[in-house]
Structures are given as structure tokens and as C-alpha cells.
Amino acid sequence: MLKKIREKILKGKRLTRSDALKLFETDDIFALGELASYVAKNKNGNKAYFVRNLHVNPTNICVNRCGFCAFSRSKGENGAFELTIKDILRRIRKAQPISEVHIVGGLHPEWQFEYYLEMLSSIKKSFPELHIKAFTATEVDYMHRISGLSLKDVLKALKSQGLDSMPGGGAEIFHSSVRNRLCPEKLSGERWLEVMEAAHSVGIKTNATMLYGHIENYEHRVDHLMRLRELQDRTGGFQAFIPLSYHPKNTEIGGRNSSGIDDLKTIAVSRLVLDNFPHIKAYWVMLGEKVSQLALLFGADDLDGTVIDEKITYSAGGKRTGITENELVHLIKKAGKKPVERDSFYRSIRRCKTA
């Protein structure tokens, strides 16, 4: 069944929508892994990347209450929190040595745009070497609405105060038939892509994600990948694609966790379809350490990082928040790959003995 697709891949030809669907539908997981691994090796050799990073969620108070999210709260609800800039700086200080801080939070009903700018400039002032990867397309679109500024002016202002790149969250599933049921209040898939296009146009690199394993089907996943590939053809601004495996605990829509086979399949198909994305990330926080290690043989070349203080997955039944560099190196080496500590633009950091 995969013969024709295999030939295309070996010749370096681009896969079609129908090829992508066939890949999702196949039970031949080993053939899929072999092909994805072949493509990953051509792109990144035997390397598997990781970064020393901290996650900071400035608030979980959110005016959108997405059906898959166990992290968000309404203002005044039990468990709702708001961090001050001092709190954030304290957390960053405590997490040293790190090279990246990943900041995402809820859409707070009262915070002004200036608060986000001050957050960035204060972090940069205290930690000038630290890469700030912050704010999803959802948050940036919200900042555009609360500030009255154009999207590009919001992005330029964030950049001028210290934003170095943007994470890929908020993409979920672009297709409106799924999105309207999953997160009706959230920005549309088209708008998410517009925000990313604007970010790329002002020189901000970003990532992209896809939340899978809930109410979507393979056609929706393929549609999502195709739209990302199309935008990447035009801008080249995406660095990594991260399939996010849905966690059902404490969520409104419930359901079950994805299977290990589906996780590996999704990594492999992403690697094969997104031929213009330099990196595919196996996010260990959602996949678990063991499946993410296997994902390195199914097309992934990046395990994300130490991910200190992760809360979004943890609230939805994630097992762990934070892993040591030694553990990451061990997982990578046991997969037969070469561990490379990277910065946020995938440049090797030399202090790592194993790099």
C-alpha cells in the first residue's frame, strides 16, 4: 500500500493530501517509522536536540474556556492565580542555568497590553542572555484587540521589548467543524495562521502545534498539516512542529488518552508531510519519556527540554513537570542518537559535554 508513497519519498517528491491520509490509515507502523526516520536523518543527521528551559504561566485566568483545557480558571474561581513581574523574575532566577523561558498564559480580562511589554523588558533587563519565547498566536490576537493596535504593531512592540520567538500553541485543529465544538470562543484557524504570517513578516520565528486525539479524525489532521505546509512555503518562519497528544483529565470534553501507536504515527506522518519544517519535536511532557524516546526513531529530532514547572499538561493528567539534562541525554543516547544541547534557534551550545 505504501509502495508508491515510498518511491515518492525516496525521490524527494512532495506528498499529497491523499498520500497523507493513506499514511495515517496504514497499520504498517514499521514502514512508516522507517520512512520518517530516513527523512529526519537527511535533515538533521543523527542529532537529537534539547534545550534547558523553564515554563512560566503568568496567569491561568482566561476569558476563553476551551473544552479541552484543564488549566484555565475564571476570575475569582478557586485555583485562579496571577503572577507579578517580581514573581516571574524570582522563578527565572531559581531555575538557572537555563537558556530559554517559555511564557504562555490565559487571556486575562483586566490586564493591559503594557503589562506584557513590561514583563518582557523586565526579564530582558535582568537576564539579557535569556531567550524569551513567549505568547501564542491566541494571546497576540487578544493583545491586538485590547490595545487597538494593528497586529504588526503589537508584534513589533513585543519584539522591541525583548520577545525573541513565539511558541506554537493555540493551533489545536484548524478545521472549523472541530474547532467550533472544541473551543468556540478561540480565534479561528484562519486567524491563527494570519497571526503567524504577520509574526514571520516582522522577523519573529515561531513554532506550530496540533492538538490531536480528541474529537478530530485523520482528515482534520491532514487538513491542519496541509495549511501549515502552505504557510511555511510562503514565509519559512516556522522552526519546529509539535504534535500535542490530548490529555482528558479534568477537562470538559473528557475522553481518553491517545495510544502509543497513534503518537508515533502522528510524529512520523508529520515528518513526512511537513517537508519544509526543519524540526519535529517529540514533547516528552505529553508523550511520556518512553514514547518520546521511541519517537526519535519515527522522525522526531527534538525532545524539547528540561521544561521546568510545566502546568498545562499537568493539570490535565500529565505525569511530570521537569526532567534533568542527564535524563534527556540518557534517553537520547539509548535511542542511538547524538544528544545536542541547543539554543532556541537550534544552534549547538558548547557547554554540553556530549554535544
Omega prior to 97 cis, within 30 of 0: yes
Q: How far is the CB of 319 from ligand V47 (least distance, A)?
A: 13
DSSP state of 279: E
Task: Record the cell numbers describing residue 146, joined without a space.
Answer: 485590547
- Residues 109, 4: Cα–Cα separation, whole Å: 52
Specify whether the CB–CB gap between 120 and 129 falls below 8 A. no
Q: Which of 183, 173, 178 is nearest to 212 (CA)?
A: 173
The residue among 5 and 173 lying less far from ligand V47, judged by its C-beta, is 173
Which residue's CB comes closest to ligand V47? 169
The residue among 154 and 316 lying less far from ligand V47, judged by its C-beta, is 316
The residue among 161 and 209 lying less far from ligand V47, judged by its C-beta, is 209
The residue among 168 and 189 lying less far from ligand V47, judged by its C-beta, is 168
Q: How far is the CB of 326 from ligand V47 (least distance, A)?
A: 21
Helices (H), 202-324: 218-235, 260-273, 284-295, 312-315
- Residues 161, 103: Cα–Cα separation, whole Å: 14
The residue among 5 and 225 lying less far from ligand V47, judged by its C-beta, is 225
Specify whether the CB–CB gap between 244 and 210 falls below 8 A. yes
The residue among 23 and 107 lying less far from ligand V47, judged by its C-beta, is 107
- Residues 155, 135: Cα–Cα separation, whole Å: 10
The residue among 19 and 302 lying less far from ligand V47, judged by its C-beta, is 302
The residue among 68 and 277 lying less far from ligand V47, judged by its C-beta, is 68
Task: Record the cell numbers describing residue 177, joined without a space.
Answer: 467543524
Q: How far is the CB of 293 from ligand V47 (least distance, A)?
A: 17
Q: How far is the CB of 60 from ligand V47 (least distance, A)?
A: 11
Residues in the chain: 355
Residues 6+ apart with CB under 8 A from 268: 23, 29, 32, 33, 35, 36, 298, 299
The residue among 19 and 301 lying less far from ligand V47, judged by its C-beta, is 301
**CA 230 → CA 157, 182, 277, distances in Å?**
27, 24, 11
First to last CA, the chain: 39
The residue among 132 and 211 lying less far from ligand V47, judged by its C-beta, is 211
Q: How far is the CB of 255 from ligand V47 (least distance, A)?
A: 10
- Residues 222, 32: Cα–Cα separation, whole Å: 16
Q: How far is the CB of 36 from ligand V47 (least distance, A)?
A: 20
Q: Which of 58, 170, 60 is nearest to 123 (CA)?
A: 58
Residue ranges binding ligand V47 (CB under 6 A) = 68-70, 104, 136, 167-170, 172, 207, 209, 211, 242, 244, 246-247, 251, 283, 286, 304, 312-313, 316
Q: Locate cell 468556540: which residue?
A: 184
Q: Which of 20, 52, 17 is nearest to 131 (CA)?
A: 52
Q: How far is the CB of 225 from ligand V47 (least distance, A)?
A: 15
Q: How far is the CB of 231 from ligand V47 (least distance, A)?
A: 15
Q: How far is the CB of 184 from ligand V47 (least distance, A)?
A: 15
- Residues 144, 108: Cα–Cα separation, whole Å: 13
Q: How far is the CB of 30 from ligand V47 (least distance, A)?
A: 27
